[in-house]
Structure 1
Amino acid sequence: MIFKVYFQESIKEVPVREKTKTVFIEAESLRDVLSRIADRGYNIEFVQEVKGAYLEYEQQNEDFKVLEI
């Protein structure tokens, strides 16, 4: 499964929509995603499974890249 993770780069930052970044991660579950990025110090806002038409839409973006962790 592919998950889209919305985050702030520093856990000390207050979430501000304009500074929110995203990354795509292939993992077995939500717990697996969180364990893979736990050591990066991100302030995780939201994790969403991406599939179907939404995944196809995201793949059309030239910046689409699944992070290998």
Structure 2
Amino acid sequence: MIFKVYYQKDFNQIPVRENTDSLFIEAETEREVRQKLADKNYNIEFIQPVSEDHLKHEQKKEDFKVENL
């Protein structure tokens, strides 16, 4: 399953929508996503499972990439 992760690059940074980044990651569960990103020191705001239709839409963007951790 693919998950979309919304995060701040610095764990100590206060979440501000304009500074939020996102990435796509493949994992079985949300817990596994958190484990894979644990060493990144990200301030994770939200983890969203991506539906098939949403994934097709995202894949049309030229900067789409699934992180390989």
Q: TM-score, normalised by structure 1?
A: 0.97
* CA shift for structure 1 position 44: 0.3
State the aligned residue count: 69
**1:24 and 2:42 aligned:** no
The separation in 1 between residues aligned to 2:24 and 2:52, in whole angstroms, is: 15
* CA shift for structure 1 position 47: 0.2
The separation in 2 between residues aligned to 1:41 and 1:52, in whole angstroms, is: 29
Instruction: State the superposition RMSD in angstroms.
Output: 0.5
Q: What is the letter of the counterpart of residue 30 of structure 1?
A: E
The separation in 2 between residues aligned to 1:44 and 1:24, in whole angstroms, is: 13
- Structure 1 residue runs of 4 or more that deviate by more than 3 Å after TM superposition: none
The separation in 2 between residues aligned to 1:63 and 1:37, in whole angstroms, is: 20
**1:15 and 2:15 aligned:** yes
User: Identity, % of aligned pairs?
Assistant: 52
Structure 1 unaligned regions, length at least 5: none
Q: What is the letter of the counterpart of residue 60 of structure 1?
A: K
* CA shift for structure 1 position 52: 1.7
